[in-house]
Structure 1
Amino acid sequence: MSTQHAATSTLLPLQGAFNFRDMGGLRTADGRTVKRGLLFRAAELTGLTPEDLSLLESIGLKHIFDYRNRGEAEEKPDPRIGEAVHIRVPANEAAEQAPHVTLEQLFASGRHQAFTEEMLEKLYADLPIGNASYKRLMALLSDPEANLPLVQHCAGGRDRTGVGSMLILMTLGVPYETVMEDYLYSNVTLEEYHRRLFEMVSKHIGPDELHALEQAMLLRERYLDASLRSIEQAYRTFERYLAEEFGIDDAVRARIQAYCLE
């Protein structure tokens, strides 16, 4: 594994899941640190081994928060992890009722051509505003004593989970520059995940298309910037966004920080 930057969260040593990270250890603007063992982010969990499950059960997770749509979750269901309550609220509501298409079917049919950098940037811009999934996530965060530890995840733990992680970390007071570094760290933690994906789709597309896909799949600053820009355009400040989108006022935010920081 590549050496991780000092600002990135800690990758857990799991065999059956990619990008499963403890978000603890990151520093806030006021000099405090996010506690370890409370907030986690991950890719899909269906491949967790018995040893992985044993390690995660020792954490005492209270919630597994799943951003995937129904078809994704049915194709690769989450395993039970101890007594954790599973909550699935799709971050992309439009895909919830659509017929499920596997990645291989997507590329075999040619529908992958809609997957571009511009499409991803628009996705990131749309995600944080009026999204029932993030409203449920932030409601859980607003009562940390009852609801943490928690793991949030999607398929790769990079896009939908990346936006959710930004919202959590910025609520805790982690500077956006640090949030961005941690977001881009998924380019490292998902190297093998992406390699397997590209190997699979190379059967269906030519070298030029494959290269374009590889470039589009790299996480870029402009994607997460699009999410923050949407928040600021709609609400002017992140503080107003928290208050009006999620009901997290200064008092609630201070209570979350008191529980999650040290």
Structure 2
Amino acid sequence: METNVLMKRVLPLEGIYNFRDMGGIKTRDGRRVKKGLLFRSADLTGMTVNDQSRLKSLNLKLVYDYRDKTEADQRPDPQIGTERHERIAVNGEDKTTAKSEWDPETFYKTFSTEQFTQVYRKMPIQNASYQRLMDLLKNPERNLPVLHHCAGGRDRTGVGAMLLLRTLGVSFETIMDDYLLSNKTLQVYHQELFAEAAQFVSGLQLKRFEEGFLLREEYLDASIGAIFGAYGKFGHYLEREFGITPADRERIKNYCLEG
């Protein structure tokens, strides 16, 4: 439904995958998310001089990183301009869920959609990283524009984007369109990953991994389902998980929406 709008917000950078402005997306009350406030991407390690020049013009106040320390040490985020950097691991620092925290051979050989769905189911509940993200959103004047990201900008960032967009009143249908867009914007990234997987698995096993690792509706649905299963309503979730009251939510909306 919003795919054309979503594609227009992809910034064609040279060394950074999947960089997009979350602005321009329509909310259920007919307003739109303002451009230039919320950005999402893969990691920034490959940033070129041209990329830096382009990103500096965004005047980011904050880069928020969902990765663990090992990932961030291996592929550090360079400084763009004068922005602050914060990092809190979505999957914890205890090497339990993120791909880089597993032995690659084990990861590719044991990957299953059921296991991946379970990772998504756990992500939005009692998660220190998203609690900090939403705490930052409560003070938009100080913390926006923000860029939030993980390794590929698809799984952990996808759940973070869902939380931000739903808080602003975007429909789950549109949020799902935005989530699945990473299958288009990350085609090269995925091909690189599949080439690595082919060193460890082949035939049907490789095909199963390639099909299962692409983003699917059922993955994000697992996160959304976990929220409603635990809290019944998204508003209750915002209040109990993040201390965002209805008044806070309206104030955030008024800052981030136009029209």
Q: State the match for 2:16 in structure 1.
A: 17
1: distance between equivalents of 2:153 and 2:26? 21
Q: State the match for 1:56 in structure 2.
A: 55
Paired AA for residue 70 in structure 1: K
1: distance between equivalents of 2:150 and 2:216? 18
Alignment of 1:160-199 (within 5 A): 160-199=156-195
Q: State the match for 1:106 in structure 2.
A: 103
Contact 1:61/1:150, CA 8 A, preserved across alignment:
yes
Alignment of 1:127-206 (within 5 A): 127-206=123-202
2: distance between equivalents of 1:134 and 1:71? 19
Contact 2:198/2:206, CA 8 A, preserved across alignment:
yes
Change in 2 beyond 3 A, CA 1:17/1:237 = same
> In the comparison of the two structures, how many residue pairs are matched?
256
Deviation at 1:104, TM superposition (A): 11
Range with bigger deviation, 5-14 or 61-70: 5-14
Contact 2:18/2:185, CA 8 A, preserved across alignment:
yes
1: distance between equivalents of 2:130 and 2:215? 21
Contact 1:70/1:97, CA 8 A, preserved across alignment:
no
Change in 2 beyond 3 A, CA 1:105/1:160 = closer
Q: State the match for 1:85 in structure 2.
A: 84
2: distance between equivalents of 1:202 and 1:111? 12
Gaps of 5+ in 2: none
2: distance between equivalents of 1:105 and 1:90? 15
Q: Superposition RMSD on alpha carbons, in Å? A: 1.9
TM-score normalised over the length of structure 1: 0.93
TM-score normalised over the length of structure 2: 0.94
Range with bigger deviation, 176-185 or 193-202: 193-202
Q: State the match for 1:233 in structure 2.
A: 229
Secondary structure, counterpart of 2:32 in structure 1:
coil
Q: State the match for 2:72 in structure 1.
A: 73
Range with bigger deviation, 244-253 or 200-209: 200-209
Q: State the match for 1:6 in structure 2.
A: 4
Contact 2:108/2:197, CA 8 A, preserved across alignment:
no
1: distance between equivalents of 2:102 and 2:64? 27
Change in 2 beyond 3 A, CA 1:19/1:111 = closer
Q: State the match for 2:119 in structure 1.
A: 123
Gaps of 5+ in 1: none
1: distance between equivalents of 2:219 and 2:242? 22
Contact 1:7/1:182, CA 8 A, preserved across alignment:
no
Deviation at 1:206, TM superposition (A): 1.4
